[in-house]
Amino acid sequence: MATKECKECKKEFSSKEGLEMHNKSKHQATVKEPFFTPVLKKKIKYISVSVIGIVLIYLIFSSVSNIKSLPPTTMQGHIEVNPPSHIMKIPMQLAIHKHMLEHADAVEGGRPGIIINYNCKDYSCDNDLIEKLEFFAQKYPEHVYVAPFKNMDAKIALTKLNQQKLLEEYNEQIIDEFVR
C-alpha cells in the first residue's frame, strides 16, 4: 500500500484524503484552495447556459421577424373570395391573392388575374409611384390588381400564375408587356 507523506512535517498517511485533511488542519498556509470551486463552477454553468439561451432566442426572433418574401405565384391554398377592390391600400390576403391568379373576380373560365404589388415601406419609392401603379391598373379593370405587400424583397413585383417579374423602378412598357 502506497503512503502519502506531508512535505512540512514528514508525517505519513495511508490515503490522499487523509493527507489533505491533515494539511488543512495543521498547515493552512500551504493549502491552496482551487480557483474554481464546485459552487463557482455551477454558477458559471448556469450563467453560460442562460446567456446562450437568450442569444439563441434573440437570433431566432430577429430572423423570423425580418423574413423577406415575394408574392405567391401558385393557386395552392386559395379560397373562393374576391378582394374588395382592384386597387387596394392594404395588403391582399395571400389566399385571396392566390385565387385572383386563378381567375380575376372569380369568373369561372375568366381571364387569370395579374397582381402588381409594391413595397414602399422598405424601399425608397418616388412620390407618385403608387399613383402610377393605380392608374395603370385602371387601364385593365377586368383582371389587374394593385396592392402593397409587406416585407417583400422587391420594390415592385408583377405576378401572374406561375410567373413573376421584379422591378426596381416604375416602367410602364415592361408592366404593359407583362400584363398582355
Per-residue pLDDT of the chain (180 residues; tens, 9 = 90+): 577 888 788 888 888 888 888 878 777 766 666 777 788 888 999 999 999 999 999 888 777 666 668 888 888 877 777 788 899 999 998 888 888 888 776 666 678 889 999 999 989 999 999 999 999 999 988 889 999 998 888 999 999 999 999 999 999 999 999 988
All CATH 3.40.30 domain ranges of the chain, comma separated, are 94-179
pTM: 0.62
CA distance 180 to 176: 6
Domain 94-179 has CATH 1.20.120: no
Q: Is the dihedral of CA 64, 67, 70, 71 positive or negative?
A: positive
